[in-house]
Amino acid sequence: MITKDDERIEAIKLRKQGLSYNEILNNVRVSKSTLSLWLRDIGLAKQQRQKLTEKKLLAAHRGGEKKHIKRLLLTQKIQEAAINEVKFLSKRDLWLIGTILYWAEGTKEKEWAVGVGACFSNSDPLMIKLFLKWLADVCKIDKNRIQFSIFIHENNKYRLEKVKEFWSGATGFEITDFDTVYYKKHNPKTKRRNIGNNYYGVLKINVRASSVLNRRIAGWIKGVNKFYWGVV
């Protein structure tokens, strides 16, 4: 028959091996308060303390991984439901989407800068692709009127051909259409996240001879404001 003394001796032995209280309680069937009383004077050697710390870190990591997976599954579920809400987009929808995109990311004519053509800049290839479709389907802009410029940090010069290939694939234009490149000064101490092999810079779309188009877009933007707020 196992006595209390046997359990106490076993608990002390397991503790000296670096086991946590919960691990010991799986082997020694006593209350946690009793265990704490038995082990309160039991010190741990440096190696045992390190072992116990590693176990705690591993347990925390496993808990974090479970939460991360749960969050990913929840995100996927929410996004799948949201995707189905879109159903279809009409040409009018595309017209308004492109107008709002330009309002956010396009170049506007100012009192001190008149005659400005239509320009749009972004780093998101899907947004770039959608904007090009808007130019073609809504604004009826021919491909030969479109110019591209790449803005990229200077420490990525060695990846320039891959960057050109990326934007060519994203837009459907020839690689030779991406020969205009501007380099931004690199700061080694930067905290920005858009670095590494997934960094392709910012692509600027310029429409030749498009000051009239830019003014039309400005009018569409004002039309949206007039509809909702009654102001232009």
**Which amino acid would we find at residue 49?**
R
Confidence label for 119 from pLDDT (cuts 50, 70 and 90): very high
Q: What is the mean pLDDT of the chain?
A: 88
Q: Highest-confidence range of 22-31, 55-64, 138-147, by mean pLDDT?
A: 138-147
Number of domains comprising the chain: 1
What is the distance between the alpha carbons of residues 73 and 173, in angstroms, rounded to a whole number?
A: 36
Token representation of residue 29: 């069937």
Q: Is residue 30 part of a domain?
A: no
Mean pLDDT of the 69-76 span: 88
User: Is 219 contained in some domain?
Assistant: yes
Is the per-residue pLDDT at 210 higher than 60? yes
129 in Cβ contact with 168 (< 8 Å): no
How does DSSP assign 21-69, residue by residue?
HHHHHTTS-S-HHHHHHHHTT----HHHHHHHHHHHHHHHHHHHHHHHH
Quickly tell me which residue has 């309002």 as its tokens. Answer: 103
163-199 residue pLDDT tens: 999 999 999 999 999 999 999 987 766 665 666 789 9
Residue 17 counted as domain residue:
no
pLDDT at 50: 63
Q: What is the reported pLDDT for 8?
A: 80
Find the domain containing 193 and state its range: 91-229
Tell me, yes or no, whether 1 lies in a domain.
Answer: no
- Asked whether residue 48 is assigned to any structural domain, the reply reads no
Backbone angles phi, psi at 120, to 5 degrees: -140, 135
**Residue 59, domain member (yes or no):** no
Tens of pLDDT, residue by residue over 125-148, are 999 999 999 999 999 999 999 999
Whether residue 187 lies inside any domain: the answer is: yes
In this prediction, residue 98 carries a pLDDT of 98
In a domain, 8, yes or no: no
pLDDT on residue 99: 98
